[in-house]
Amino acid sequence: MTASGNPELFAYETQRFRSRWMERLMRSLTGVFAYFSIIITVGITLIFVYECFAFFRALAAEGVSWTQIFTETEWTPLFAPPKFGVIVVVMGTLMTTIIAMIVALPVGLLSAIFLSEYAPPALRAVLKPTLEILAGVPTVVYGFFALLVITPILQQIVPGGDEVVAGLNALSAGFVMGIMIIPLVASLSEDAIYAVPNLLREGSYAVGATKFETTMSVVLPSALSGIVSAFILAVSRAVGETMIVSLAAGQSPILNFNPLDSVMTITAFIVQVSLGDTPTNSLAFYTIFFAGFLLFLMTLILNVLADWFVRRYRLIY
Amino acid sequence: MTTAISPSEVNFRSNYDRRKVATNIFMVVAFLATIFGLFFLGLLLYDLLKQGLPYVSWRFVTTFPSRNPADAGVLSALVGSIWLMCLIPIFAFPLGIGAAIFMEEYADRDLWYNRILEINISNLAGVPSIIYGLLGLELYVRVLEPITKGRTLLAGALTLSTLVLPVVIISSREAIRAVPREIREAAYAVGCTKWQSIWYHVLPMAFAGILTGTILALSRAIGETAPLITLGALTFIAFLPPWPVTTSVNEEGLVIIEKVSAGVASFVEALQTPFTALPIQVFNWASRPQAEFHAVSAAGIIVLLLLLVAMNSAAVLLRARFQVRK
């Protein structure tokens, strides 16, 4: 008997045929959607490689030796003659990042310890979401805060006032960046601390340790891999942060080690060029892709390192 | 028999007080660290309200930017941000949720290419936003110029969609993973195909979680400044996209509606108009030297934060509305 002979069976077969095709269609469609993210990564990489080649070709056309990138101590791609001392922007990025980490790492870790080990549940239920608000504030708002609130305060409290503290300086940008990163460090470290089994804490109390001693010699060492990974991700976040540094840290093209003075970060440079009328396919235009590639590589290495750390040193209970 | 305390116990007792004090001091320090950030959040809000509130008015949200701080408004920036807010979900949500379904339901995680997919997405989530701006500048502004017409709303929306895509995928995956296995197995037991179990059972149950995660991703996109600046979004825009109405400015500087233009042609034209957005406008005002513009910038930030609070409340409300008991 064929399916067409029986109307009910025919309807069933049609339905089955349709759902099978739907199954295949949706499986392929969602698969294409998922693999689209690979295209993004490949796209970013190709664009950077292509534009960096263009950058080095343009350098040669201008008669600038590529070794200048490592030997020069000024970064003025927009001036004539252009100078490409990449050390200037790398140092600027490093300085704001270090200042941010001095704020974010201890404060974030202490917050994580307080929230997971000491805070009563009711207090924790209030503090944790409030702390998350800090992470939801747009970075441009933090830039405003650094430039127009923190810098004037610094100029009042640092002896010497605005003669010592420049209107645009690395300290206020780095400090505010640190505040922005606190929730990231706190929530990732708290996850790591929370994963330490209670048995370890109770064992420590049983041999007579106080809560502080337990935290320091049992909980933190057990959560170390997660905490280090949180710290590395925090560094990566600070390196890529753009709006705070472009508003508050300035665009100084000279190598500078004074945190109270203006510095230029990689990201601030890209913003500076993007805001101006830089013609496409000019040397300055290629430079932002060169700077972007540098930034991409730095954050990629940090992210991979954080991931490796958490896998390599994870203690399994 | 003596009840004298042994020397070691004396040692322990005196030591114990010190150790107890150390615990208490540490607790106070840790508490202060926790409220350290909140203190600065309070300071920020106080300063914003003090500077910006006098400038926030109906006129401020209904006029265009101006060279004169007293006349400056955020209309074009607010409309730009709302356009982005409506366009980003069109691109990012189907793509992100589809990818999440594939990775959670279909992909065999033992295959090397699916593992690469996972690593790739977690790495993309860690790429700085300005890098997406450079990607958008090259891909959407230059390569796709015949479609996007350069630095337009469409190019901006595509760039921000690319930026939030990894976040949408990660949060949707978490929501889908939270649906119990038994639901899927019950669906198979009555003869569902995999897709039918996903469409009729898994997605409705995961809906609240997916929605919350995606709205939070969207609110992140609305606050992003760096990729739009890199893209070359303009800061001085004194017109609106010509959809659903065409507008012009009268002699008093007020925006008036000329005619309704809700057709497909004017929609496409609107997608291809240059634009600005709230964070860019705020950045522009804050970076000017005049103190009056700083106050205008604070007023712009208040409008931006109100928009974000509205979106986050919507996420909370929708979550409560669609929450399915598991």
What tokens were used for A233?
């991700």
Chain mean pLDDT for chain B = 87
Smallest CA–CA separation between B38 and chain A, in Å? 7
The mean pLDDT value for B187-211 works out to 91
Q: Determine the structural domain holding residue A260 and report its residue range.
A: 85-312
- B174-190 core/surface letters (b: 16 or more CB in 10 A; e: else): ebbeebeeeebeebeee
Residues of B in contact with A289 (CB under 8 A): 134, 138
In chain A, the number of structural domains is: 2
Domain match, A96 and A214 both: yes
Is B1's pLDDT higher than 70? no
Domain match, A100 and A219 both: yes
Distance CA A91, CA B283 (A): 25
CA A51 to chain centre: 23
A69 part of a folded domain: no
* pTM of the full structure: 0.90
A308 part of a folded domain: yes
Query: The domain that contains B225 carries what CATH number?
Result: 1.10.3720.10
Q: Which of A43, A143, A289 sits opposite B286 (nearest CB)?
A: A143
From A63, A93, A115, give the residue that closes a domain. Answer: A63
Distance CA A93, CA A246 (A): 11
Cα separation values, A245 from A168, A314, B117, B233, B317, Å: 9, 35, 33, 19, 36
Is B3's pLDDT higher than 80? no
Distance CA A38, CA B120 (A): 7
Is B215's pLDDT higher than 60? yes
What tokens were used for B228?
């739009």
* Greater pLDDT, B266 or B181: B181
B62 part of a folded domain: no
B181 part of a folded domain: yes
B58 part of a folded domain: no
Residues of A in contact with B230 (CB under 8 A): 270-271, 274, 288
Smallest CA–CA separation between B4 and chain A, in Å? 22
Sequence-separated (6 or more) residues with CB below 8 Å from residue B152:
B271, B272, B273, B274, B275
Domain match, A93 and A16 both: no
Q: ipTM of this model?
A: 0.89
Residues of A in contact with B194 (CB under 8 A): 23, 27
Distance CA B77, CA B281 (A): 6
Intervals of chain A under pLDDT 70? 1-4, 314-317
Model confidence at B262, pLDDT cuts 50, 70, 90, reads confident
Domain match, A151 and A221 both: yes
CB B217 within 8 A of CB B91: no
Concatenated DSSP letters of B202-221: IHHHHHHHHHHHHHHHHHHH
The crossing angle, in degrees rounded to 10, of helices B203-223 and A121-136 is 50
Q: Which of A27, A271, A307 sits opposite B106 (nearest CB)?
A: A27
CA A100 to chain centre: 12
Distance CA A258, CA A96 (A): 11
In chain B, the number of structural domains is: 1
- The three-state secondary structure class of B259 is strand
* Long-range Cβ contacts of A57-66 (<8 Å, 24+ apart): A58/A282, A58/A283, A58/A286, A59/A84, A59/A283, A62/A283
pLDDT tens string A251-274: 888 888 888 888 999 999 999 888
pLDDT tens string B67-78: 888 888 888 889
A168 part of a folded domain: yes
Q: Determine the structural domain holding residue B171 and report its residue range.
A: 80-236
B163 part of a folded domain: yes
Chain mean pLDDT for chain A = 89
pLDDT tens string A94-135: 999 999 999 999 999 999 999 999 999 999 989 988 888 888
Concatenated DSSP letters of A158-217: STTGGGTS-SS-HHHHHHHHHHHHHHHHHHHHHHHHHTS-HHHHHHHHHTT--HHHHIII
A103 part of a folded domain: yes
